[in-house]
Amino acid sequence: MNASDAAATVLIVEDDGVTRERLARVVAGDKSFLVLPPCAGVRDGTAALQEHRPRLLLVDLALLDGSGLELIRATATLSPETEALVITVFGDERNVLSAVEAGAIGYLLKDGDERTVSAALHEVLDGGSPISPSIARHLLRRFQSPAGTNPDTAPDAAPGGSATRDSTGGLTPREIEVLKLIAKGLSYADIATTLGMSANTVTSHVKHIYRKLAVRSRGEAVFEAAQLGLVRIEQLR
Amino acid sequence: MSAPAAHHYAPARISPRTTLRLLLALVMPVFLLLVLLRLLHPKPDDNVFTLSSVHIAQEQDLALWRMPERPQPVALPHERRGGHDRIVYFFVLDLQVPPDRLWAVYLPHLSMNAAVHLNGEILGHGGSMVPPVARHWNRPLYFTIPNGLLRSGHNVLAVESIGDPVRSGFLAPVYVGPHETLMRVYEQRFALTVVAALAITTMLITVAVLMCTLWAMRRSASVYLWFGLGAAAWAAHNFNLFVVHTPMPAVAWEWLWNVTMGWLVIFTVIFVLRFLDERLPRLERTLFGFGFVGSVALALIAAWSPNTLAWVGPHVWDSGVLLLGAYPVVKVLRRLAFSPSPEVGWLLFAGATMFCFGLHDWLVLTGRLPRIHGLLIHFSAPVVMVVFGHILIGRFVTALRESEALNVELEARVAAREAQLAANHQRLRMLERDQTIASERERLMRDMHDGVGGTIIAALTMTETPGIDVRRIGEALRHALDDLRLMIDSLDPLEGDLTALLGMFRNRVEPMLRASGLTVTWKLAVLPPCSDLSPERSLQLLRIAQEAISNTLKHARATGLHVTLEPGQDLKGRPAALLTLRDDGCGFDPARTSTGRGLANMWRRAASAGLELSVVPTMQGTLVRVLVPMH
């Protein structure tokens, strides 16, 4: 493991006390991480974020005083160097993708043991992003549908049906290849061999894709707001 | 009452207004006839000599510049019944001073041809004076007198007249007078006899062609055919009115003229019957028989004796035809009495006109009316055509309106049907959706009961067992969680992608496998989409694989596990996907209870999802093979 010399600070925001304590214990098991006092809600989480500017933020979505998405969005302004990971029970695409859209870099399963959690966190520190085949498949669909429509809410949009209009959706052909192989269930190592690149490159591709999704969804939000007259474009410059 | 549908009708109560119209329809034709006769015989001015008392002579070698020695006085009009072929009429014209203007001789009505001589000089003639004689029976003759030929005192005008074998000779009063005066009356008569006949015949030919074309395009409307045939027969009949030089012998021409009148009436009767929607096939057949027999009989008579044809034609044939012509008029009158309508009223007017003019001609031909009247039936043709044109246009407009109304109604019905279909479709979709939801709900319930539910109850039971190892409870709960994840993965819309399904599974189990220290190799071939990969089959396949892996981890004491997905065949040789899980452990003893129950579970799942499963304990470890049908 190529952890940096200084231990990476980790902020955990989780409303369930037992899970919070367990997660803190699991992360603290790896000496390359320094666990900050865990938070239970959006408000103290925001304060801690501002105060500590952690390297990693592990956040649950359903918090007592709001949504974890607010916290993820806040990192962009309060602590830009923080990488956010969403804590989820199933790693299902609905929760993960909304978190990624808000700016998260990946997900962490709630029941993960010491080894898997530490592996996932190290992957993030190394510039990668945890992803599952199911999420990859949804990402492919999302990027292959025209901006502004979500294939999951627009049942008429067949997968790839509008490929002529926006077939890449801002993704490079290489990124699409990577996504397709992940969707097939190949491991990073297999993908790296198939595409002739290092495993690290594969995970950094995934990270780029996540970033693009976040930018894209922000763009859509701004576009919609401008359409509604809520924001003037000059204000954003 | 012999009308076929008489019991349906009682004679309608006829209003005074209708009575007036009825009378008008019957009287109007007589009035038209009188007007026509007056127009055909214009009275010349007083300064014209009307030559009506003359002398005739029949000798062959006559001097035409003086009166013959034994002249016979006659009065004009003079008809020569009885086969006088050639005759010369002598007129003496006494003038005190010779005219200083151009004068002319005008013969309004004659038969068949004439040559006019004045004081021994020939003024002119109407063409051939020997058979076939030029035909002028319906055509006035007019000759101008060269200057200086008329002198003061005695002038002898000789009109040499010739008949033909069938039609006897005739001469109406002759006029001599100033050219400018006579020319006017001549022109009027020429227009009414020749030009009108030409125009009427042209119209009849046009109507015949139009009606027959209409019938050809609409065979069911037979009225048009009979009307067209009638018009054609009438046109053929009319050629006699203006043709001067016939293309055949006079007898044949006369035969044709008689026969076409007969067929005109036959076609008219059939037309009227069909127009009134009365189908009398036997009567129609009889009419045709009458037409054919009559035509042949007349032909035989003509060949045998032209003179007999001259008598039989008008007296026998035309009489029969006239009687026949009365039939449709009576028919129309009766129809009008039972169900009066403007259409039938107009038809009565046309029929009455035709019959009235025909009766007039029959009276003339049989000598009951003066021959100078001439033949007039063709003048009823314009009346018939105008009336029928009126009826036809009326029917056309009605049909057009009806079709427009129908279109509107049809559109409304189509719209209603479309709405109904859309509603049905919507209802069907709702039903389908409800059914899908119900069956999916049922499946989820079954899956939960089968997997998660059972495991959680087991864990719950364990917590109530004193002295139980807490790790066993944790294991059970983890098992429940894993199964829940498999269920979620099986719900993913995979579109039959078996490779992706197992890829997801690999992603799920890999961390655990890695943690266990087992070396796992995955070889997942990319397979074509599987048409029948239902969420249920996906879930059972994943559960079988999960069970196999957990057996390997728990019991096999293996160091390596190979998972492969490749194309294969089922027992019947059909294409299938083959999933193989092979460990290098110690195999198993099927008799052992714990593995036994796990295996039984795997068999049950395979059977319920239509998968072919084989679990073989080998010397080198356990081999689990699952065949997923691809057809």
Q: Give pLDDT tens digits for A13-36.
A: 998 888 899 899 989 888 889 999
Q: Is the pLDDT of residue B468 over 60?
A: yes
CB atoms within 10 A of CB A1: 9
Contacts for B262 with CB less than 8 Å, ≥ 6 apart: B290, B291, B294, B295, B317, B320, B321
d(CA B539, CA A1): 36
pLDDT score at B478: 83
Q: Given a cut of 80, is residue B296 above it in pLDDT?
A: yes
pLDDT band at B592 (very low <50, low <70, confident <90, very high): low
CA distance B484 to chain A (A): 8
Q: What is the pLDDT of residue B65?
A: 73
- Whether cis (ω within 30° of 0) applies to the bond prior to B504 is no
Angle at the Cα of B205 from the Cα atoms of B202 and B208, rounded to 5 degrees:
150
Whose CA is closest to A49, among A29, A27, A77? A77
Whether residue B7 has pLDDT greater than 60:
no
**pLDDT score of A4:** 45
Taking the Cβ of residue A133 and every Cβ of chain B, the question of whether any pair is shorter than 8 Å is answered with yes
The predicted complex's ipTM stands at 0.72
Contact B507 A132 (CB under 8 A): yes
All residues of chain A having their beta carbon less than 8 Å from the beta carbon of residue B489 are 134
A185·B499 Cβ contact <8 A = yes
| Contact criterion met (CB below 8 Å) for A117 and A159 | no
Task: Provide mean pLDDT across the span B586-605.
Answer: 72
- B524 contacts A184? CB cut-off 8 A: yes
Domain extents in chain A: 8-125, 133-236
Query: What tokens does A149 get?
Result: 């429509």
The whole-angstrom distance between B452's CA and the closest CA on chain A is 14
Look at residue B47 and tell me whether its pLDDT is greater than 70.
yes
Angle at B316 between CA B313 and CA B322, to 5 degrees: 95
pTM of the predicted protein model = 0.55
**Does residue A158 belong to the interface with chain B, where contact is any CB pair within 8 Å?**
no
B506 shares contact with chain A (CB less than 8 Å): yes
For chain B, percent of residues with pLDDT exceeding 70 = 96
Q: CB contact, 8 Å: A137 with chain B? A: yes
pLDDT at B410 over 90: yes
d(CA A220, CA A225): 8
Q: Is pLDDT at B56 greater than 70 in this prediction?
A: yes
Burial B393-427 (b: 16+ CB within 10 A, else e): eeeeeeeeeeeeeeeeeeeeeeeeeeeeeeeeeee
Contact B25, B345 (CB under 8 A): yes
Q: What is the pLDDT of residue A118?
A: 86
Cβ <8 Å between B511 and A112: yes
Residue B10 has pLDDT above 70, yes or no: no
Is A186's CB within 8 Å of B495's CB? no
Half-sphere exposure of A108 (CA within 13 A, CB side): 34
- Chain A contact for B478, CB < 8 A? yes
Can you give the pLDDT at residue B2? Answer: 42
Selected for mutation to probe chain A from B429, B504, B524, B564 (highest A CB count within 10 Å) is B504
Show the beta-strand stretches assigned E in B412-540: 519-524
pLDDT grade, residue A168 (50/70/90)?
very low
Q: Which CATH architecture has domain A8-125?
A: 3-Layer(aba) Sandwich (3.40)
Per-residue model confidence as pLDDT tens digits over A111-159: 777 878 888 888 888 887 878 787 888 888 777 765 444 444 444 434 4
Whether the Cβ atoms of residue B93 and residue B157 lie closer than 8 Å to each other? yes
What residue type is B514 in one-letter code? R
Q: What is the mean pLDDT of chain A?
A: 78
CB pairs under 8 A between A and B: 51
What's residue A30's pLDDT? 87
Top-confidence residue, B240 or A152: B240
Measured between beta carbons, the chain A residues lying within 8 angstroms of B538 are none
Query: Is the model's pLDDT at B338 over the cut of 90?
Result: no
pLDDT at residue A155, rounded to an integer: 41
Return the bridge partners of A56, or none. A10, A83
Section A78-103 average pLDDT? 85
pLDDT digits (tens, 9 = 90+) for B79-89: 887 555 788 99
Q: What local confidence, expressed as pLDDT, does residue A237 receive?
A: 46
Range B556-567 burial, b when 16+ CB lie within 10 A, else e: bebeebbbbbee
- B499 contact residues in A (CB cutoff 8 A): 184-185
Distances (CA, A) of A78 to A10, A49, B265, B456: 16, 7, 112, 43
Chain B within 8 Å of A183 (Cβ-Cβ)?
A: yes
- What is the sign, positive or negative, of the torsion defined by CA atoms of B390, B391, B396, B400? positive
Residue-level pLDDT at B315: 93
B548: how many CB neighbours lie within 10 A of its CB?
A: 27
By the CB < 8 Å criterion, does A160 face chain B?
Answer: no
The mean pLDDT of B238-266, rounded to a whole number, is: 93
Contacts of B510 in chain A (CB under 8 A): 187
65-104 in A: which are within 8 Å (CB) of B? 89-92
Residues A30-71: pLDDT tens digits?
Answer: 888 999 999 988 999 999 999 999 999 999 988 888 888 999
CA distance A71 to chain B (A): 27
A187 touches B: beta carbon within 8 Å: yes
- Least confident among A4-13, A219-228, B22-31, B132-141: A219-228
DSSP A234: G
Partner-chain residue, chosen from B489, B511, B514, that has the shortest CB–CB distance to A134: B489
Burial B260-289 (b: 16+ CB within 10 A, else e): bbbbbbbbbbbbbbbbbeeeeeeebeebee
Task: Identify the burial level of A43 via C-beta atoms within 10 angstroms of its C-beta, where 0-12 means exposed, 13-18 middle and 19 or more buried.
Answer: middle
- With bands split at pLDDT 50, 70 and 90, how would you rate the model's confidence at B416? very high
Report the pLDDT averaged over residues B302-308. Answer: 88
| Minimum distance, in Å, between the CA of residue B523 and any CA atom of chain A | 9
What is the structure's pLDDT at B3? 41
How many alpha carbons lie under 13 Å from residue B146 in its C-beta half-sphere? 10
| Residue B17 CB burial class (10 angstroms; 0-12, 13-18, ≥19) | exposed
A133 vs B481, B485, B503: nearest CB: B503
List of chain B residues whose C-beta atoms are within 8 Å of the C-beta of residue A89? 481
Q: Determine the average pLDDT of the residues in A156-172.
A: 48
Over 70: is that where the pLDDT of B593 sits? no
Statement: A133-236 belongs to CATH 1.10.10.10: yes
Which residues are CB-contacts of B225 (< 8 A; sequence separation ≥ 6)? B211, B212, B215
Residues A170-177 have a mean pLDDT of 84
- H or E segment to which residue A201 belongs: helix A199-228
Lookup result for tokens 């002249």: B71
The answer to whether residues B51 and B94 touch, using CB atoms and an 8 Å cutoff, is no
